[in-house]
Structure 1
Amino acid sequence: MGGRVLIALGGNAMTAPDGSASPADQRRAIGRAMTHVASLIRAGHEVMLTHGNGPQVGNILLKNQLAAHVLAPVPLDWCVAQTQGTLGTLIMNALERALAPEPVRVATVVTRTLVDPDDPAFREPVKPIGQYFGEDEARRFERHGQTWRRFERGWRRVVASPWPVEILDAPAAIALMEAGYTVVAAGGGGVPVVRAEDGTLSGVEAVIDKDLAAAALARAVQATELVIATDVPHALVGYGTAAARPIEEITVAELRVLQAAGHFASGSMGPKVEAALRFAEDGGNRAVITSLEHIGEALSGNIGTRVSRGVER
């Protein structure tokens, strides 16, 4: 019997190869992804799933903008909750099909992630979301309280990306797993919420990095391994240069050195590396960064960037 494995699915697992996020494309992509997950379950691993939601939230934001003259825009925390429900349903259906005729119980938990209202990210939003627009459109939405910034390709909305403090609904996910369910939780990094002095919670306009939230969720549910599924088989040292080489087995200390040297871009591999490091540093057996089709081999130790506390070489 394998251990408890948390798999964090990247956007490539839920869209077409060209990034298209039409309903048909999402169904096909998630169906393919769940065949790989099903193989792990058949091998005896206890699996929990989390996922990104960038393209899906982008679609909702575009609908907001197209309908703004009729309806007030939907808050960003609502967008995350909606995508948790939609993607969770697609994942549940696809995983049940992939495991048929074997009996399987799958559940999705709409999950809140606590963030600190004093997180510096709220003072200077920098996370771009949604599509590019002209200045007139950007100014119109600034009147709704949004922050927009000019980029090379046009104007784009930017929001805060605070650090995940706690996955609040992890106990519900644990209870379901202990009852025999494969659980989908903390999709899109979780619905961002802050706690008031009286203890009440409220949503905020923010986006939580899904890989960092996955590390927090993995710790909360006592996963033995964290698998960050992306579109490449390994993280690379010297990415984009002639000296590029894959990172395979590596200790936390060694990977921290590479991170400090600037090998991992903040907008792509950087959060994945940080999430892997955090999980291993906080007591996880091993974190793996690899492509979706290689997750089984990665857990066997044959491929992927495999991070552990280890004995330094």
Structure 2
Amino acid sequence: MAKVVVALGGNALGSSPSEQRQLVKGTATSLIGLINAGNEVVISHGNGPHVGQINLGLNFAAENGKTASFPFPECGAMSQGYIGYHLQQALQNELAHQHLSKSVITTITQVLVDQNDSAFKNPTKPIGDFYTKEVAKKIAEDKGYVFTEDAGRG
């Protein structure tokens, strides 16, 4: 038995929960061949668009007095949880459809990041919305966020 690692980029998972559910159905169908061949399959995934959506939504709610603000790590865990849930559900459904008895688990991960890492001064991975230069400057002043131009998108 071989261990096979499959990496899915966050953008490959769609931009909404319903789109993601549809996309991971196809992913699950594709992975069944690897599983059926006796391989142990590990799926890793990105979450940039998803954690950004969660963070923006919760920040909007907090800024409008509807809820407390949530720190970014908690938003990351939320995105890992719902992406893992959709992947696990799709794989379990496809395994049952193929009459295969295999276990599927989802794991939430944590990493320790050095807050003084120089990479924070020059961000390269967009998370959340795109802003005009003026809006980005205002948010940076108000919240201490660091922004950089992203391929003409904002």
Q: Which category describes the TM-score, using the shorter chain as reference length?
A: 0.7 to 0.9
SS at match of 2:111: strand
| Alignment equivalent of 1:96, drawn from 77, 92, 95 | 92
Over 6 Å off, 4+ runs: none
| Cα offset, 1:81, TM superposition | 0.7
Shift of 1:31: 0.9
Question: Aligned residue for 1:4?
Answer: 3
Once the two structures are superposed, what CA deviation does each residue of 1:66-90 show, in whole Å capped at 9, x if it has no partner?
Answer: 3223245422211211111111111
Following the alignment from structure 2 to structure 1, what is the Cα–Cα distance between the partners of residues 64 and 146?
19
Residue equivalent to 1:83: 79
Largest Rg, 1 or 2: 1
CA positional deviation for 1:13: 3.6
Q: Deviations along 1:210-233, whole A, 9 cap, x unmatched? A: xxxxxxxxxxxxxxxxxxxxxxxx
Residue type of the partner of 2:123? V
TM-score computed with the length of structure 1 as normaliser: 0.43
- Residue identity (%): 38
Please tell me whether residue 49 in structure 1 is matched to residue 43 in structure 2. yes
Q: Unmatched 5+ residue regions in structure 2? A: none
For 2:13 and 2:47, locate their aligned partners in 1 and report how far apart those are by CA, in whole Å: 8
* TM-align CA RMSD: 2.3
Asked if 2 retains the 8 angstrom alpha-carbon contact of 1:62 and 1:130, the reply is: yes
Tell me: higher relative CO, structure 1 or 2? Use CA pairs within 8 A at least 6 residues apart. Answer: 2
Higher helix share: 2
Q: Distance in 2 between matches of 1:58 and 1:95?
A: 26
What's the counterpart of residue 106 of structure 1? 104
Aligned 8 A contact 1:81 1:110 in 2: yes
Q: 1:13 touches 1:33 (CA, 8 Å); kept in 2?
A: no
| Cα pair 2:5 2:42 within 8 Å, conserved | yes
Against the structure 1 CA distance between its residues 108 and 66, is the aligned structure 2 distance closer, same or farther, given a 3 Å change threshold?
A: same
Question: Does structure 1 retain, via aligned residues, the 8 Å contact 2:136–2:147?
Answer: no
Q: Relative to 1, partners in 2 of residues 1:138 and 1:65: Cα closer, same or farther, differing over 3 Å?
A: farther
**Counterpart residue number, 2:25:** 31
- The aligned amino acid for 1:46 is E
- Is the CA contact 1:7–1:48 (under 8 Å) kept in the aligned structure 2? yes
Superposed, 1:1-313 pairs within 5 Å as 2-15=1-14, 21-67=15-61, 68-70=63-65, 71=67, 73-100=69-96, 101-122=99-120, 124-127=121-124, 128-134=126-132, 135-136=134-135, 139-140=138-139, 142-149=141-148, 152-154=152-154
TM-score w.r.t. the length of structure 2 is 0.81
Question: CA offsets per residue over residues 50-71 of structure 1, 9 Å max, x none?
Answer: 1011221121133144322324
Unaligned runs of 5+ in 1: 16-20, 155-313
| Counterparts of 1:142 and 1:103, CA distance in 2 | 54
SS in 2 for 1:107: coil
Return the offset for 1:12. Answer: 4.6
Higher strand share: 1
